[in-house]
Amino acid sequence: MLRRDHYVIDGGVAVVTGAAGGIGSAVAERLARRGSHLVLVDRDKEGLAAVAERVRTRRPDREVSTHALDLTEKDAALELAEQAMAAHGRVSLVVNNAGVALAGRFEQVSMDDVDWLLSINLRGVLAVTSAFLPHLERGAHITNMSSLFGLIAPIGNATYSASKFGVRGFSLSLREELKPRGIGVTAVHPGGIRTGIARSARRGVAVSEAEWETGLEIFDKFLVIDPAVAARKIVDGTERRKGRVLIGPEAYAGDIAARIAPIGYAPVFERLMRLKAGA
């Protein structure tokens, strides 16, 4: 039974960034099945069109708009908010899902690489949230995609972890700031979700071919959870206005490790990843 303090999905208008595939498309489709109208956002215009077509086929009674935008551009978030309000008249949920990965230890990546990743994973979240906050009314909700690597920071993920710890910290503070307005905030920490984020990662300038291939092999075996499973947990956590959502055994193990050994878990976790991947 839906409690009075829950986010109301049916009839709401949800903005989903990174909606052309992976977790984003799965979340969008689940929200639509639950009765939400959709504002789908991604740089992949063809991918957006495919997701929109699936949603419209299953829920022809829901309004769906697509917005092919590059959120790294300075005014893209404000442009998105204007387009969304013009198309739907209101927005009740913002799902900041868009994200990218960067392969390599910090000494193997350039500052151009770092700027690129942070512009999407962190600044993009802040910019989209800032653009939509003036339009959100009491009862609205914001769901931000952090990561298992927003709970722990394994070797070889310094820049990615910096971005996801940033999303986590932003979400924690924002949750308290928006309580008086009756707006909820959820931080999501997925573990090994089966998406293309590893294979579409940018390769650090000093990462060798052998290191790149080994990393891909490990992550191919590590990323096994169906995005639909993640979407169910994300949407349920959003509806219940949970402060955070952990997805997958790795996320729970990482959370425990960070509590028990906050500065000593990295080598152990790296070994566990390699064992799971059979490396």
213 membership: H or E segment, kind and range:
helix 209-222
The predicted pLDDT at position 206 comes to 82
CATH number of 13-277: 3.40.50.720
Asked whether the predicted pLDDT for residue 278 surpasses 60, the reply is no
Neighbours of 5 (CB within 10 A): 10
| Residue 214 buriedness (CB in 10 A; 0-12 / 13-18 / 19+) | middle
Asked whether the predicted pLDDT for residue 208 surpasses 70, the reply is yes
The predicted pLDDT at position 33 comes to 97
The predicted pLDDT at position 201 comes to 74
- Share the mean pLDDT of the chain: 90
Q: How does pLDDT run across 70-89, given as a tens digit for each residue?
A: 999 999 999 999 999 999 99
Non-local CB neighbours of 66 within 8 Å, separated by 6+ positions: 40, 41, 45, 48, 49, 52
Q: Which of the residue ranges 59-68, 151-160, 172-181 would you say has the lowest mean pLDDT?
A: 151-160
Q: How far apart are CA 23 and CA 195, in angstroms?
A: 7
Global model pTM greater than 0.75: yes
Q: How confident is the model at residue 151 (pLDDT cuts 50, 70, 90)?
A: very high
Structure tokens, 215: 């990393």
Q: Give, to the nearest 10 degrees, the angle between helix 123-132 and helix 111-121.
A: 30
The predicted pLDDT at position 216 comes to 57
Structure-model confidence comparison of residues 209 and 180, the more confident one: 180
The predicted pLDDT at position 209 comes to 83
Show me where the domains of the chain are located: 13-277
Q: How far apart are CA 52 and CA 241, in angstroms?
A: 26
Q: Provide the annotated active-site residues.
A: 160
Neighbours of 72 (CB within 10 A): 17
| Residue 6 buriedness (CB in 10 A; 0-12 / 13-18 / 19+) | middle
